[in-house]
Structure 1
Amino acid sequence: MDCKKSDFQLDHSVTYFNCAYMSPQLKVVEEAGKMGLQRKRNPFKISTEEFFGETDMLREEYAKLIHASDPNHIIVIPSVSYGMANVARNLPLSKGDNIIVVGEQFPSNVYPWRTAADEGGAEIITVTPPKESKDRGKLWNEKILNAITPKTKLVALGNIHWADGTLFDLKKIRKQTRNVGAWLAIDGTQSVGALPFDVSEIQPDALVCAGYKWLMGPYSIGLAYYGPALDNGKPVEENWINRYESENFANLVNYNDDYQPGALRYEVGEHSNFILVPMMLAAVKQLNAWGPENIQTYCRDLISDGIKKLKKAGYKIEDEDYRSSHLFGIRLGDGHNMEEIKAKFEKQNILVSFRGDSIRVSPNVYNTDEEFERFVNALVD
């Protein structure tokens, strides 16, 4: 796969290694947004079928990306917190049960479980990373697996950790949750789109993703996959469009107490967003054309030589088996000064994120070898 910088609206005066903050705009996504905005000039041209058709197309395209056999298990959401709230509302909890999260997890995948635990008399167990830098990812995964007991009703985490890219072994975690009858809710925001994900293989109860990072879409739209465990649950929102036979506009005043079947009951109100949905659709189509496996390989090839150089200079970076290549953390060794590094980056217009004690680096297919070399030299020179 070659560099795709020309496909993006990105200021070339900056060295942007911060897709984990927000992706730059794909040109095809921007064009789709413009066309969507212009549609409302003549609202009489927007048919009732279009309230459903374009969303259905997005479902089908996203199903290809995550290898879901049934697109109707996928819904449009406005945010990760919304997607997780649907899970939290339907999670069966009793006094003495527990919910497992990992240390320094993104708040949208923590707050819903705190509320659910408070209401159900359950406990939140936070599995923190080991203090050792050697085999850190391996040991962290072992701690998670050991924490899952028959009292566990949910494990909620990312495919990778949002701050440093640590990979979690979802196959083993899913197997362990099945053994004890617990649900698995995955925040895929920092992985889906750049790292291959197979719903048919992992079989999570929920996979929830914001759209504006690795999915290359706009802000305020995301996608959620819900498994069979949630087929008959109660959504957090009571809107007209997630009711059974809502496609029949003439019959809407004959109120229907039944929801749309399965996961479709959880869809956000006004999910037929005529601007954001076509933008999201254009983005997912482009990702399917490129292939997440090719994106991951591109990033791996981009960073491999530089990471060797950084490790030789004393920086601490997780071994490849337990981290992603599109998002990884760099921790400082002896003799490194974070404030000096920040000043160098600012002077050279190098954009990354700083999360906890880690420099979070998140390249993508718009980055070049020269840019990553410039980044590495700023750290070692």
Structure 2
Amino acid sequence: MNCQQSKFSLDDSVTYLNCAFMSPQLKVVEEAGIEGIQRKQNPQQVTSDDFFGETEKLREAFAKLINAKESNRIVTIPSVSYGMANVAHNLSLSRGDTIVLVGEQFPSNVYPWMRAAEESGTEIITITPPETTENRGKVWNERILEAITPKTKLVAVANVHWADGTLFDLKAIRKRTLEIDAWLAIDGTQSVGALPFDVQEIQPDALICAGYKWLMGPYSIGLAYYGPALDEGKPVEENWINRYESENFAGLVNYNDAYQPGALRYEVGEHSNFILVPMMLTALNQLNDWGVENIQQYCRLLTEEPIKRLQEKGYQVEEPAYRGSHLFGIRLGQNHNMDKIKAAFSEKNIVVSFRGDSIRVSPNVYNTAEDLTQLTDALLS
């Protein structure tokens, strides 16, 4: 795969290595948004079929990205917190049960479980990262598996940790949760779109993704996959469009007690957003055209040598088996100063994120070898 920088409008004076914060906008996605805005200039041209047709295409595009057999298990959501709220709303919990979380997880995959635990008397078990840097990812994964017991009703985890890119063994975690009949809710925001994910292999109960990072879509739209365990559940909101036969506009006042079948009941109200949906669809079509495996490979080739250079100079980066190539944390050795590094990055217009004691680097297909050289030179100067 070649560099795709020409498909974006990035500032040439900035070295942008921060897709984990927000992806830059594809030119074609911008065009789709403008067309969506202009569409409302003549609302008489919007038909009842338009409320459903484009979101169906969106489901199909996301299903292709994550290898889901059934596109009707995918719904449009406004945020990760909304998607997780649907899971929490339908999770049966009692006093004495446990929920397993990963330490320093993004808040949208923590707060729903805090409320659920408080209301039910359930205990939250948080598996914090090991303090050692040696075999850190391996040990962290082992501790997560050890924490899953017959009392566990849910494991809520990301595919890669948002702060430093630590890769969690979802296959092993899912195997363990199936043995004890516990749910698995995955926040795929920092991986899906850049790291291959196979729904048929992992079989999560829920996979929730914000759209504005690695999916390269706009802000305030995301996508959720809900498995069979949630087929008969209740959504967190009561809107007209997630009710059975809502496609029949003439019959909307014939109120229906039944929801749309399966996962479709969890769609957010006004999910037919005529601006955000075509933008998100355009982004997914581009990702599918590139191929997620190719995106991950591009990032691996881009970062392999720079990471080796940094490790030789005392910087600490997780071994490849326990991190993605698209998102990784750089931890400082004893001879490095964070304030000095921040000043160097600011002077050279290098944009990354600082998360705790980690410098979070997250390149994508618009980055070049020169971008990574700029990063390493700044760290080694």
**Shorter-chain TM-score: which interval?**
over 0.9
SS at match of 2:162: coil
* Cα separation, 1, equivalents of 2:132 and 2:350: 29
Q: 1:241-275 CA deviation, whole Å, 9 max, x = no partner?
A: 00000000000011001000000000000000000
**CA offset at residue 9 of structure 1?**
1.8
Partner in structure 1 of residue 56 of structure 2: 56
Q: 1:80-126 CA deviation, whole Å, 9 max, x = no partner?
A: 00000000000010110010000100000000000011111101100
* Cα separation, 2, equivalents of 1:13 and 1:270: 39
**CA offset at residue 10 of structure 1?**
1.2
Q: How does 1:235-314 map to 2 (within 5 A)?
A: 235-314=235-314
SS at match of 2:154: strand
**CA offset at residue 359 of structure 1?**
0.2
* Cα separation, 2, equivalents of 1:96 and 1:299: 44
Partner in structure 1 of residue 110 of structure 2: 110
* Cα separation, 2, equivalents of 1:90 and 1:12: 48
Partner in structure 1 of residue 12 of structure 2: 12
Partner in structure 1 of residue 130 of structure 2: 130
Q: What amino acid does structure 1 have at the position aligned with 2:277?
A: V
Q: Would you say 1:224 and 2:224 are equivalent positions? A: yes
* Cα separation, 1, equivalents of 2:355 and 2:154: 26
SS at match of 2:124: strand
Give percent identity, aligned residues only: 73
**CA offset at residue 13 of structure 1?**
1.0
Partner in structure 2 of residue 366 of structure 1: 366
**CA offset at residue 376 of structure 1?**
0.3
CA RMSD between the two structures: 0.4
**CA offset at residue 227 of structure 1?**
0.2
Partner in structure 1 of residue 164 of structure 2: 164
Q: 1:207-229 CA deviation, whole Å, 9 max, x = no partner?
A: 00000000000000000000000
Q: 1:340-359 CA deviation, whole Å, 9 max, x = no partner?
A: 00000000000000001100
Partner in structure 2 of residue 25 of structure 1: 25
Partner in structure 1 of residue 352 of structure 2: 352
**CA offset at residue 296 of structure 1?**
0.3
Partner in structure 2 of residue 184 of structure 1: 184
* Cα separation, 2, equivalents of 1:359 and 1:40: 43
* Cα separation, 2, equivalents of 1:321 and 1:10: 31
Partner in structure 2 of residue 213 of structure 1: 213
Q: What amino acid does structure 2 have at the position aligned with 1:215?
A: L
Unpaired stretches in structure 2, ≥5 consecutive residues: none
* Cα separation, 2, equivalents of 1:288 and 1:11: 26
SS at match of 1:365: coil
* Cα separation, 1, equivalents of 2:229 and 2:317: 38
Partner in structure 1 of residue 86 of structure 2: 86
* Cα separation, 1, equivalents of 2:189 and 2:350: 23
SS at match of 1:9: coil
* Cα separation, 2, equivalents of 1:337 and 1:125: 34
- Give the ranges of 4+ consecutive aligned residues of structure 1 lying more than 2 Å apart after TM superposition: none
**CA offset at residue 286 of structure 1?**
0.2
* Cα separation, 2, equivalents of 1:34 and 1:272: 16
* Cα separation, 2, equivalents of 1:312 and 1:60: 45
SS at match of 1:131: coil
SS at match of 1:76: strand
**CA offset at residue 2 of structure 1?**
0.3
**CA offset at residue 11 of structure 1?**
1.1
* Cα separation, 2, equivalents of 1:181 and 1:192: 25
* Cα separation, 2, equivalents of 1:105 and 1:305: 29
Query: What is the aligned residue count?
Result: 381
Partner in structure 2 of residue 201 of structure 1: 201
Partner in structure 2 of residue 99 of structure 1: 99
Q: What amino acid does structure 1 have at the position aligned with 2:21?
A: Y
Q: How does 1:321-360 map to 2 (within 5 A)?
A: 321-360=321-360
TM-score by length of 1: 1.00
* Cα separation, 2, equivalents of 1:77 and 1:112: 16
**CA offset at residue 21 of structure 1?**
0.2
Partner in structure 2 of residue 174 of structure 1: 174
* Cα separation, 1, equivalents of 2:13 and 2:260: 49
Unpaired stretches in structure 1, ≥5 consecutive residues: none
**CA offset at residue 12 of structure 1?**
1.3
SS at match of 1:25: coil
